[in-house]
Structure formats: structure tokens, C-alpha cells
Amino acid sequence: MKFLDEAKVHVKAGDGGDGVIAFRREKFIEYGGPDGGNGGKGGDVIIEAVDGLNTLIDYRYAQHFKSRKGGNGAGQDRSGAGSDDVIMKVPVGTQILAEDKETLLADLTEVGQRIVIAKGGDGGYGNATFKSATNRSPRRADPGWPGQERAIWLRLKLIADSGLLGLPNAGKSTFLAAVSAARPKVADYPFTTLHPQLGVVRLNPDGTPSRDGSLEFVLADIPGLIEGAHEGAGLGTRFLGHVERCAVLLHLVDGTAADPAAAYRTIREELAGYGGGLADKPEVVALNKSDAMTPQATASRLKALSKAAGKPALLVSGATGAGVKQVLYALYQQILADRTR
């Protein structure tokens, strides 16, 4: 399934049904009077967050959603039928924006949460409604009110507990595959990951990964950033929104790079340029690919990275699993603190 995190759709709620002009006509009833019924309400357009979806691909090929018009009234004081609502199902974490792409209309962060994005029109009054002591036989009926119509943007921000950051080829996909059942594409060239990937990490109480562990959290891997990403370089910062909701960020730095400290600072500058509070989020820093470094290079680069980060950096290898337990335990402690806040 193709990943799509943004889509523009047009919604149109149903118009209300028309009221009617009718009079009672029965034998031996000389003055039956007006009995035209009211029109029915048009259907609403509702957006609902549901479980089991993680992309907006459904709205790539269907972009117009319209509810049906309410039924017209009838004689004998019969009101028109109300039309059924149209329900658009979206993944949890979807934001609904106005056409200007800036005004936030709703943020659906829980399963079952819904919003009426376009309200159906009310039905028009039939002539029976206008009957009064001074107007015994009104010949007036109103048409139904039009339903709301608007263009909106759907923007998905994945719900994950932790997010993976780093330059291209930092080993993020390898790490995700090592700690979860996710199977992202892994290759030895930059920008292997073109769309965000999610994996569920399960741990034993001692912090070791396990398929049936009692502790779990969701880890999101996003495409690598490069210098100038906040200005549109590379893939830009388009996918950074998917880690805005994370409790903690895991910053992986390629240990085989000539200057890991510079690589770390590059990503931090892009986070600051993007905004959204990402630069202030709790962060676990890890020097990856320890299996490909000599002991002397490991010591010097780990020291330089720790100095640049202002905190002790962890040593890990996604390929061999060395140090993975310590990284996952550090992530889970931050996530647990956020959940109990």
C-alpha cells in the first residue's frame, strides 16, 4: 500500500428537502385546511478516526464526497425523510485543515473521535406550518436550506511513542528492523527510506527485545534529513511532522562518518529550523555502526559526539545487536515518564 500523508478533498452536505403546499381534500369535510409537510434534513459529512489505517491513500483517488438531499414534504402533514450521513474514515492522528492549509479545524487523536465537517441543510417548511388565526389557507412553502460545501486538507501525523532521526545512511532502517517486526528497505545508499515506517518494539522488563514482551512502544523511522532540509533540500522536512507527537527522539549518528559531531549538529540545526517544538523534545543520542569501527576510532568519536550533544552518547550496532538493549531501555524510560505525566 502506498503511503500518503496529505490529501485535499471537497465535501458537500446534502440540501434540505422542500416543503410543499397541500390542502386536505376529503368528502364531507368542507374546510379541510392546509396540510403540506416539511422537508427532511440533508445528510451531514462526518470524518471519523478509525483503527487499522495508517495512510490517506483512499483520498488520492476519491476526492469528492457529497451527502444526499433530504426528502421533500408531502400532503397529510407528512415530513420528508432525513438523508443518511456520509462518513469518511481516516487514520488516528489525522488533522483537518481549512482550504488555506493553515487553519486547524480538528485533530483526531483517538479511535472513534469524529467531527461534522459539513452540516446538512434543514428542510423547508410546508404550508401547514404557516397556518394561523388570520391566515387560514396559506399558499406558501419554503425550499430546503443548502448544505455546507467546502474544500479541506487532510494531513496525517503518525501516532508514535518514539521517532528515529539522522542523516541518510545513519542506519535507521537497520535499527528498526532489528528491534521490531517491521521490514523497511535496507540498502547501502542514501535515501533508501522514502516514506515513514512504523514498528512496534516489545521488551522484557529487563529491557531486552522480545516478540512477546510485556512492555511495548511504537517507533517511527522517517526519511533522512540533510543540510538545508528546512529550506527544501533533499526530501525537505515534509515528514518531520510525523515525529511531532513522539515523547522522545532517538538520534542515530553514523559512526563511520569522518565527523560524527558535525553530523549531529546538522540534524539539530534542521530541527531548530523546522520548529514545532522538535528541538526541545527529550533525545537519546546513539553512535551507530560500532561493528564497523576500530576501538580507537570508537573511543574518540564517542567522546566527540557526547561533547557535541552535551550528554553521554550510547554505542550501538543495529547490524549485530550490540548496545540495542541499553538504547531501548533509555527510550522506554522517557516514554514511561511521558505516559505517567
Architecture of domain 1-156: Distorted Sandwich (2.70)
Is residue 223 part of an annotated ligand binding site?
A: yes
pLDDT band at 229; cut points 50, 70, 90: low
Q: How far is 108 from 87, CA to CA, in rounded Å?
A: 14
- What's the pLDDT score for residue 192? 56
- In single-letter form, the type of residue at position 251 comes to H
Q: HSE-up of 104 (CA within 13 Å, CB side)?
A: 7
**pLDDT one-digit tens code per residue, 192-224:** 555 677 778 888 776 666 666 667 888 888 776
Is residue 193 part of an annotated ligand binding site?
A: yes
As a whole number, mean pLDDT of residues 51-79 equals 91
Is residue 291 part of an annotated ligand binding site?
A: yes
Is residue 210 part of an annotated ligand binding site?
A: no
Architecture of domain 162-339: 3-Layer(aba) Sandwich (3.40)
- Pick the range with the lowest mean pLDDT from 58-62, 206-210, 286-290, 304-308: 206-210
Is residue 131 part of an annotated ligand binding site?
A: no
Is residue 119 part of an annotated ligand binding site?
A: no
**pLDDT one-digit tens code per residue, 106-163:** 999 899 999 999 999 999 999 999 999 999 889 999 999 999 999 999 998 877 888 8
DSSP symbols for 126-161: PGGGG--SS-SS----PPPPPPPEEEEEEEE----S
Q: How far is 210 from 213, CA to CA, in rounded Å?
A: 5
Is residue 192 part of an annotated ligand binding site?
A: yes
With CA atoms as reference, report the closest residue to 288 among 251, 326, 253: 253
With CA atoms as reference, report the closest residue to 264 among 275, 255, 276, 274: 255
What are the boundaries of each domain within the chain? 1-156, 162-339
User: Cα-flanking dihedrals φ and ψ of residue 105, to 5°?
Assistant: -95, -35
Rounded to two decimals, the pTM is 0.76
Is residue 224 part of an annotated ligand binding site?
A: yes
Is residue 204 part of an annotated ligand binding site?
A: no
Is residue 94 part of an annotated ligand binding site?
A: no
Is residue 292 part of an annotated ligand binding site?
A: no
pLDDT band at 1; cut points 50, 70, 90: very low
